[in-house]
Structure 1
């Protein structure tokens, strides 16, 4: 459950839970749901629980994998890790005690940087104070259009060292987006057979907001039938900006008095 990632803004994935349910139109063409269906058909044991057919699908029922909780402790080389690429850690069916165990693992492995992304920003805000937030945890919310911009307000109330937005698939303009308290923005178009084309001016407007607010901007892709179909160039540039890693605080030795 720890794999190298093809996602441009991370290095590896770790899925202590799998499965999810649609909550907004950004989920309509979910890559993870499609992949889970394929993995179930292949007999992959972690994807045998089916979700509600109205909001999920075959192999995509929310499932906890306790045996993977300690996996990052085996990785000696520091990695940037996307947590739950195949789920949502703050899904209602993921118990708070399990979320705490995930956070405990992240705290015990300060050599890694963890990127956690959710659409369940209300639950995130409600339980944030029950969690210990180590400095190597970056917390993000998905913001596909202005209809879900309240997720940004919820995120601002979370004491993460780095707070970021994933505006992918970008399905509408975010011209009124407020970036105070936000440390990074990812944007991208949708990919896959049913992809919805991204409006170029929506991408440019979001980039300009980031430049004006001095917030690092990462443009992942234009999208298309395949992720690479449209390339990554925006106005002649590849935007690969990322926030600086937040290093763990190491106490200074107490001087000896003589």
Structure 2
């Protein structure tokens, strides 16, 4: 199971990644991979480039993990690759196709895939769908992108060019206002401040502005947490600022896309 508020299960058919933008600076997965390598975990023995990655965090595919969801009988929301980016350039298209094959075989689950590389989505998925002889997006697969500063708001535009049952943006860690973010083709918006060592601060006005933008576009907003800096400054009951009871009332918003609200 998962402690991430907006999902229920994590599934990591690939592990490892490379930092490409400021939101990656304090990557929790990179830190965890180093710890797991030291513990001898078989999935985290490949080192990445020390300039952009680290010990145990080199891109690795795990064929033996592909069948895990087949054993889960109860329907659940599944975050795909909490410890990697499925659309990293070094993940073979053939392996991504195998991931899609598993998701196609398990329609009882809803899969949430998050990438910082949405420009790859259309061309990669064209090949995946052609191989699997699929004519339309899988209804149980949500595709999302991470956006931490306005310099990367264009990722949402790239995502909007991809066919998907649900498109979502994760603005976490939110490191500044996002005035350029276009939400008209985005179904779901996750908002969150940074947590952990070295966390950077969040201004609540950034959240308020994005909630207003989501209302105008009909995008479902989900405020995940207000971050460690806010939690410390306000003596919050949770070190990540993740307890809505501690927040201003107008920020206590946790919605899902309309077509799955009943299942949430």
The answer to whether the superposition gives a TM-score over 0.5 is: yes
> What SS class does the counterpart of residue 112 from structure 2 fall into?
strand
Say whether residues 1:99 and 2:96 are aligned partners.
yes
Say whether residues 1:123 and 2:120 are aligned partners.
yes
Structure 2 equivalent of residue 154 of structure 1: 158
Match of 1:236 among 244, 249, 263: 249
Say whether residues 1:200 and 2:213 are aligned partners.
no
Q: CA deviation at 1:25?
A: 0.6
Structure 2 equivalent of residue 254 of structure 1: none
Deviates more, 1:226-235 or 1:150-159: 226-235
Q: CA deviation at 1:207?
A: 0.8
- Report the Cα distance in structure 1 between the residues aligned to 2:226 and 2:164, rounded to whole angstroms: 29
Please list every run of 5 or more consecutive structure 2 residues that lacks an aligned counterpart in the other structure.
130-136, 232-236
Structural mapping, 1:1-258, within 5 Å: 4-132=1-129, 133-224=137-228, 228-229=238-239, 230-233=241-244, 234-237=247-250, 238-245=252-259
- Preserved contact between residue 220 and residue 258 of structure 2 (Cα < 8 Å): no
Larger fraction in helix: 2
* Distance change (3 Å), C-alpha of 1:40 and 1:245: farther
- CA RMSD across the alignment: 1.7
TM-score (norm 2): 0.89
> What SS class does the counterpart of residue 106 from structure 1 fall into?
helix
Number of aligned positions between the proteins: 244
- Preserved contact between residue 161 and residue 246 of structure 1 (Cα < 8 Å): no
